[in-house]
Amino acid sequence: MWEHTHTTETTPFDWHRLKSVPPMNDFLDHPILTVQQHILREQQKFPGSSGEFSFLLSGITLAAKMIAAQVQRAGLTDILGTHGDINVQGEVQQKLDVYANKVLLHCLRIRESVAVLASEENEQPLTVHNGSPNARYVVVFDPLDGSSNIDVAVSVGTTFCILRRDPSSDQTSDEEESLRDVLQPGTKIIAAGYVVYGSSTILVYSAGNGVHGFTLDPAIGAFVMSHENIRIPDQGKYYSVNESHSDSFPPSDKQFLQQVRQGKVGNQIYASRYVGSMVSDIHRTLLKGGVFMYPPTASHSDGKLRLVYEANPIAFLVEQAGGEALSGKIRVLDIVPESIHQRTPIVAGGKVEMEAYRACW
Ligand code: AHM
Ligand code: MG
């Protein structure tokens, strides 16, 4: 939930009053709500809030716009290719996931409220703003998940979670303290989200008060509310899994998958949809319902997805939207991470699918 310990008194902005303002013309027949306005509106529910949390989130939205701009131009620029190659101008090429990581680190480390950053692209967490009493947040992210899909113009995404730093940390650069701050279970998440760079760029986030989606309007450079209060349907029509691994799934996952294929889950006839880019597969699952699975396989005995910055944000959003996310029999958000890059199996979906999944254990 929102941080609200500081003291800037503001007159709450009455968004609902704006809704009753007569339209200026046919074009603007409903009010436009940008993600920044939305964050401010949410924040004003907590009088005395300092605004630092919304400034932190604005670092993520700025980075997302910069990454989206490069993703859309990927085939045109020298940004495609192996990191370390030299392009025709004699410059070292940036692989897109390295670029995305640099952008997020840059946009977040200049926010004074950020204490620790952890990324899929960095082995260790980065401690920033040592000693600042305002540095109270930990941000973990996968800058560009599914980046191998870029080469074939398939959607990719960014995932992130925001956690509160342990107040007892003395805000020095002690590596152990920063690591401890990162290794918190998902139950401690205060906000999480993803950005899908697809046919449109969409930011979906939750700060514990509903899941909301904002589509990037490239004409005005702003994320505009497009999906208010997303609720995952109790039952959907799609299952999403890499079926080529199914022979090596654990018995419970195999049994569940068989039931889905045979139309034995709520008598639903399911269709298979698998992009192979987690954020896209989860985005569809959130909006259309169904189930997404990445169980243990022969090549990835703990599953493939990373707990701290991939599975946890997804689990947080799916739960906030009324669904469930399990790692075997355990709730994903209850797992206490032992290392930053540890993997976890995950099955996430709507009520009906997850009840059927539970019954297979
Ligand atoms: P990455 O972090 O190396 O990009 O891998 C994660 C991606 C996910 O986006 C996706 O769900 C999964 O790998 C697909 O794996 P597979 O090709 O085994 O189905
Ligand atoms: Mg990844």
- Domains along the chain with CATH numbers: 35-227 (3.30.540.10), 238-359 (3.40.190.80)
Specify the ligand 1 atom closest to the Cα of 274: 19
pTM score of the predicted model:
0.89
Of all residues in the chain, what percent carry a pLDDT higher than 90?
Answer: 70
Specify the ligand 1 atom closest to the Cα of 146: 4
Q: Is the CB of 201 under 6 A from ligand 1?
A: no
> What pLDDT sits at residue 80?
54
Question: Nearest residue CA, atom 15 of ligand 1?
Answer: 276
Distance of CA 146 from the midpoint of ligand 2 (Å):
6
Residue 154 clears pLDDT 90, i.e. is over it: yes
> What pLDDT sits at residue 11?
52
Specify the ligand 1 atom closest to the Cα of 299: 18
In the structure, what pLDDT confidence band is assigned to residue 170 with cuts at 50, 70 and 90?
Answer: low
Q: Is the CB of 242 under 6 A from ligand 1?
A: yes
Average pLDDT over residues 89-111: 82
Q: Is the CB of 278 under 6 A from ligand 1?
A: yes
In the structure, what pLDDT confidence band is assigned to residue 79 with cuts at 50, 70 and 90?
Answer: low
Residue 129 clears pLDDT 60, i.e. is over it: yes
Q: Is the CB of 145 under 6 A from ligand 1?
A: yes
Specify the ligand 1 atom closest to the Cα of 145: 4
> What pLDDT sits at residue 5?
40
Q: Is the CB of 146 under 6 A from ligand 1?
A: yes
> What pLDDT sits at residue 132?
79
Dihedral sign, CA of 147, 152, 153, 155? negative
